[in-house]
């Protein structure tokens, strides 16, 4: 806790950006920062406080990088290819089966998108279950 942010989102390659949600808050983060958030949190019970603290600390996270979410778990809005990579990575990181990682991280696929760029305002956000 404390200290300034070491994450400058303006320098993040758009292809590595993911959207992480916690509670009703969505933040645009780099893949590296997303991993840090997961590592910071010993259990998902504390995840909301941690993410909100990071949001307040990070001047690079602007208000229009925040969109409204429908649930209280991580949401990553990604291309189908990135989705498979993330599910495999999450499964390895959390020592879960891919099916369980898919459910627990609530990974969302937007097949109209070819990158993992930031969605603004949430108008294009859609919830969709995908199984591999």
d(CA 78, CA 86): 9
What pLDDT, on the 0 to 100 scale, is given for residue 99? Answer: 46
What pLDDT, on the 0 to 100 scale, is given for residue 40? Answer: 54
What pLDDT, on the 0 to 100 scale, is given for residue 39? Answer: 60
First to last CA, the chain: 38
- Considering 8-12, 29-33, 53-57, 103-107, the range whose residues carry the highest mean pLDDT is 29-33
Q: What is the dihedral of CA 22, 63, 126, 93, to 10 degrees?
A: -40
Q: What are phi and psi of 18, to 5 degrees?
A: -130, 160
Q: Determine the distance from the C-alpha atom of residue 96 to the mean position of all C-alpha atoms in its chain, rounded to a whole number.
A: 18
- The fraction of the chain above a pLDDT of 70, given in percent, is 0
**If you average pLDDT over every residue of the chain, what do you get?**
44
Provide mean pLDDT across the span 16-29.
39
Q: Worst-scoring range by mean pLDDT, 20-34, 56-70, 86-100?
A: 56-70
Model confidence, pTM: 0.23
- Tell me which residue has tokens 């609530």: 106
The domain locations on the chain are 13-109
d(CA 71, CA 32): 23
- Tens digit of pLDDT for each residue in 96-127? 444 444 444 444 444 444 333 333 333 333 33
Provide mean pLDDT across the span 37-50.
50
Q: Please check the confidence at residue 31 and state whether its pLDDT lies above 50.
A: yes
């Amino acid at each position: 806790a404390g200290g300034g942010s070491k994450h400058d989102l303006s320098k993040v390659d758009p292809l590595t950006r993911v959207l992480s949600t916690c509670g009703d808050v969505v933040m645009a983060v780099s893949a590296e920062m997303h991993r840090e958030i997961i590592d910071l949190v010993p259990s998902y019970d504390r995840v909301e406080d941690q993410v909100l603290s990071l949001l307040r600390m990070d001047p690079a996270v602007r208000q229009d990088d925040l969109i409204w979410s429908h649930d209280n778990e991580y949401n990553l809005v990604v291309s189908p290819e990135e989705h498979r990579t993330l599910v495999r990575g999450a499964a390895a990181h959390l020592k879960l089966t891919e099916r369980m990682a898919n459910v627990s991280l609530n990974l969302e696929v937007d097949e109209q998108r070819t990158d993992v760029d930031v969605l603004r305002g949430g108008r294009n956000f859609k919830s969709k279950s995908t199984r591999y």
